[in-house]
Structure 1
Amino acid sequence: MHKNGTKDISKFFIAGINYRKTDAEMRGRFALSPEQYATLLNQAPEFGVQEAFVVSTCNRTEIYGFADQLAQLEELLCSQTEGCSKEFRERAYVKKGIEAIDHLLHVGGGLDSQILGDYEIVGQIKQAAKTAKQHQRIHAFTERLVNCMLQSSKAIKNNTRLSDGTVSVSFAAVQFIREHVKHIRNKKIVLLGTGKFGRNTCKNLVDYLGTNNITLINRTEEKATVLADELGLQSAPIEELSVQVAEADIILVATNSPEPTILAAQLKSKQQKLVIDLSIPNNVEAAAAALENVTLVNVDQLSKLKDETLAKREAEVPKAKAIIEEHTAEFMDWYQMRKHVPVLKAVKTKLKEIHTSPLYITLQPHHTACTKNTDEKIQKVINCMASKMKEQNQRGCYYIEAINEFIATGTE
């Protein structure tokens, strides 16, 4: 990285694990809570990292950022996770430079999701970057890259059918319920966790199951109450969790706890129960799967669901990739021009010095001190120089040429 702020793209890395090589349990060992993420961002300089952000979802944990060595980013990430650096490196994929940029756009476009076309990942990346910026870990390069990803993702959403059908884990949960539970309106549903992911799940339950027999529970009771009032549902305080779970036919867990929030003992009953754990790490005690009255489903099982639109979505992948290539090229054009900014600024300063020099004033009989006309003339020369540098990248030649052009045109 240069002192003037221009980044060396060869030192931009992404290292991560996802659903392809790790199960939900292992991904849980590298998941970050909001508190852990904040600590990671604050401690980044201690690891030699000034610019970075982390995407931690049920499908993946990835760290993006600039570092002299990839190990700095890996150590930073693992400093806040249950899993260690050795475990991470054994399972991680790594990309740098333009390949890392391309990877982010593929992730944001839903092409690398556990469910093809999953659009929820866009909001998760956006929030991760927003948090990093609040901690001063996002600067010009990364902010521009995230914006490029958002534009690319929006273009894919608007110009392809990649997001048709079952395209999120929360909707897959609804599909699973619809296919496996009869007389759904007679069933009592409990949803534990009303954060952003829980809210999306709740709205899908209401929209697609046609039932309002849903009770919301959240550690912060007010969040559950507000959402319940908004959607015409019921809410209950966390202190009533055991009672509500005992009475429920269907329990969905969308919490973000390092320890199980639903225990096997709470599920023991003669009543048949469907329990869907949408959390990473898993927030339903593993022993619950052995109970005769319980069907326990996690995110990996939900992601294997197929729907009738999958083949159509797969056919849209080439269109999505073409959109990504276009936006990647635009970003690289911006990056290449940004490398020239110091030279352009230096030339602009020099032209202003020339304009006020006695020798120049002597050589220009029509010289005027009008700042507006001078600024416009200088900017025109700089724009022309920038275009030529973009095409041929001959910085020294164009430096001299710009000065000659400025002198030759005079001030009229």
Structure 2
Amino acid sequence: MNLNEFYITGINYKKTDASIRGQFAVNTDQYAAILEEAGQNGVEEMFVLSTCNRTEVFGLAPSPNVLIDLLCKQTSGSADSFKELAYIKQGMAAIEHLFSVGAGLDSQILGDYEIVGQIKQAIKFARENEFVGTFIERLYNTVLQSSKAIKAHTELSSGTVSVSFAAIQFLKQHLPDASHKKIVLLGTGKIGRNTCKNLVDYCGADSNNITLVNRTQAKAEALAQELQVKTAPYSQMMQVVQQADVVIVATNAEEPVICKKDLEGFGAKILIDLSIPNNIEPAAGELPGVALVNVDGLSRINDETLQNRIAEVPKANAIIVQHMQEFLEWYGMRQHVPALKAAKLKLQELHECGLFTLAAEAENTPATGGCPFHHKQPSSEETIQKVINNMALKMRRQQLPGCSYIEAINDFISAGNMN
């Protein structure tokens, strides 16, 4: 496990628009295919983070090109295009990037805490497919701890600014009175759920005028019951969309589920596309009376809450530094594990060979059964573990594994003679 073999390669909103990011978006089937091939390409551990703002591949791999090829083999975009737009980070830079992403510092809307749930889902899927090992597991847990500390001790994620809430702000700007408007929401995943809740809580919409549509009807019904809104079967999706005043799409389809031709002749509408790739055909925005916005357009909504968050960035960075140091201390100790195991084995062999029994007898050391480690002083196992703990402490402080190995043996001999 070499820190310099940890890479992240990805694209995000900073250099690519939604249409480009959509070419490299990863759904569940594609994610499974990537992991299936990863082991055959020398990848030890990895996970893929694919959201509306980014597609990133993190992994312990021979090179970043391996990760890029695995991704691009399963997506519609080419590896050459990806490399032109991608950022690649290695070792410490890759670790720092993940901490920044987990804190919401790298989000399109600063402090957007929805990214934490997306990281959890990405890790869960990789873990289920046996691609999360000791390194990524520990890194992930430390990133979560850092993110929680930032949320608890700063105002970086204060207020209600996220992509789903930005959709509500957009509606308020373009639809002053939403109480009598028919609103249709397609998709009931995390973003869809949050958007629906925000519609009820902040938009002034009448819950009787909100209709949920999802490919899996049971999921739509469960959310509808929770939020006291209506549902419509997936087979009637286009009918309710054509009758709606507002259509919000938070699905995960590879192609648009609503096209320009579907809306021609059905009057003015507000269309909000929260999906990557685009699940509403961009040309639909050309229709008379139709206003269309996607995640890139929503991210440009700026308010006082966002300005307040900017002031919290230095505090968040300080917390990240602290947790990164904790991770690096753990990593440093992991590097010493082989030496510590070898030293412990050698000390056990020395104890069993009887060498110290003779030494103890020669010095008239009290013993039971001829062995100084069998009386009621600390047991040999306790003595060995104490010596190993001391060795680990010295190795962490001095970074001299060879010297510590020799010292451990001397400490053990001394402990044996004193007993």
1:263 to 259, 264, 272: 259
Task: Give CA deviations for 1:6-27 in whole Å, capped at 9, x if unaligned.
Answer: x111111000000000000000
Residue 169 (structure 2) pairs with residue 175 (structure 1): yes
> Residues of 2 paired with 1:323 and 1:13: CA distance?
23
1:402 to 385, 408, 412: 408
2:272 aligned partner: 276
Normalising by the residue count of structure 2, what TM-score does the alignment of the two structures yield?
Answer: 0.94
2:373 to 360, 368, 376: 368
Residue 102 (structure 2) pairs with residue 108 (structure 1): yes
What does 1:288-367 align with in structure 2 at a 5 Å threshold?
288-364=284-360, 365=365, 366=367, 367=372
1:157 to 147, 151, 156: 151
* Equivalent AA in structure 1 for residue 236 of structure 2: E
How far does residue 206 in structure 1 lie from its aligned partner after superposition? 1.5
Task: Give CA deviations for 1:316-370 in whole Å, capped at 9, x if unaligned.
Answer: 0000001111111111111011000000011111111111222211212331337
How far does residue 378 in structure 1 lie from its aligned partner after superposition? 1.2
Contact map agreement 1:53 1:65 (CA 8 A) in 2:
yes
> Residues of 2 paired with 1:48 and 1:398: CA distance?
33
Aligned partner of residue 58 in structure 2, secondary structure? strand
Return the index of the structure with the highest Cα Rg. Answer: 2
How far does residue 265 in structure 1 lie from its aligned partner after superposition? 2.3
What does 1:10-409 align with in structure 2 at a 5 Å threshold?
10-210=4-204, 211-212=206-207, 213-269=209-265, 271-364=267-360, 365=365, 366=367, 367-369=372-374, 373-409=379-415
> Residues of 2 paired with 1:384 and 1:359: CA distance?
23
Question: Which ranges in structure 1 are unaligned for 5 or more consecutive residues?
Answer: 1-6
> Residues of 2 paired with 1:99 and 1:257: CA distance?
33
* Equivalent AA in structure 1 for residue 183 of structure 2: I
How far does residue 92 in structure 1 lie from its aligned partner after superposition? 0.2
Task: Give CA deviations for 1:199-220 in whole Å, capped at 9, x if unaligned.
Answer: 1211121121243121000011
Contact map agreement 1:267 1:294 (CA 8 A) in 2:
no
> Residues of 2 paired with 1:111 and 1:18: CA distance?
13
Task: Give CA deviations for 1:88-142 in whole Å, capped at 9, x if unaligned.
Answer: 0000011000110000000000000000001000110111011001111110001
Contact map agreement 1:165 1:307 (CA 8 A) in 2:
no
> Residues of 2 paired with 1:29 and 1:72: CA distance?
19
> Residues of 1 paired with 2:149 and 2:194: CA distance?
22
How far does residue 271 in structure 1 lie from its aligned partner after superposition? 2.9
Aligned length: 406
Identity fraction in percent: 56
Aligned partner of residue 231 in structure 2, secondary structure? strand
* Equivalent AA in structure 2 for residue 327 of structure 1: H
* Equivalent AA in structure 1 for residue 319 of structure 2: I
Aligned partner of residue 309 in structure 1, secondary structure? helix
Change (3 A) 1:175 1:381: same
> Residues of 2 paired with 1:223 and 1:391: CA distance?
54
Contact map agreement 2:242 2:263 (CA 8 A) in 1:
yes
1:3 aligned partner: none
Question: Which ranges in structure 2 are unaligned for 5 or more consecutive residues?
Answer: none
> Residues of 1 paired with 2:8 and 2:238: CA distance?
42
Aligned partner of residue 184 in structure 1, secondary structure? coil
> Residues of 1 paired with 2:305 and 2:116: CA distance?
21
> Residues of 2 paired with 1:23 and 1:322: CA distance?
31
How far does residue 386 in structure 1 lie from its aligned partner after superposition? 0.6
* Equivalent AA in structure 1 for residue 121 of structure 2: Q
Contact map agreement 2:186 2:251 (CA 8 A) in 1:
yes
Change (3 A) 1:404 1:265: same
* Equivalent AA in structure 2 for residue 235 of structure 1: T
> Residues of 2 paired with 1:86 and 1:324: CA distance?
34
> Residues of 2 paired with 1:139 and 1:289: CA distance?
46
* Equivalent AA in structure 1 for residue 255 of structure 2: E
* Equivalent AA in structure 1 for residue 282 of structure 2: A
Task: Give CA deviations for 1:182-235 in whole Å, capped at 9, x if unaligned.
Answer: 221101110001122211211121121243121000011111111111111100
* Equivalent AA in structure 2 for residue 188 of structure 1: K
How far does residue 166 in structure 1 lie from its aligned partner after superposition? 4.4
* Equivalent AA in structure 2 for residue 170 of structure 1: S
How far does residue 37 in structure 1 lie from its aligned partner after superposition? 0.6
* Equivalent AA in structure 2 for residue 303 of structure 1: S
* Equivalent AA in structure 2 for residue 134 of structure 1: E
* Equivalent AA in structure 1 for residue 212 of structure 2: L
Greater than 3 Å deviation, 4+ residue runs: 368-372
Contact map agreement 2:383 2:415 (CA 8 A) in 1:
no
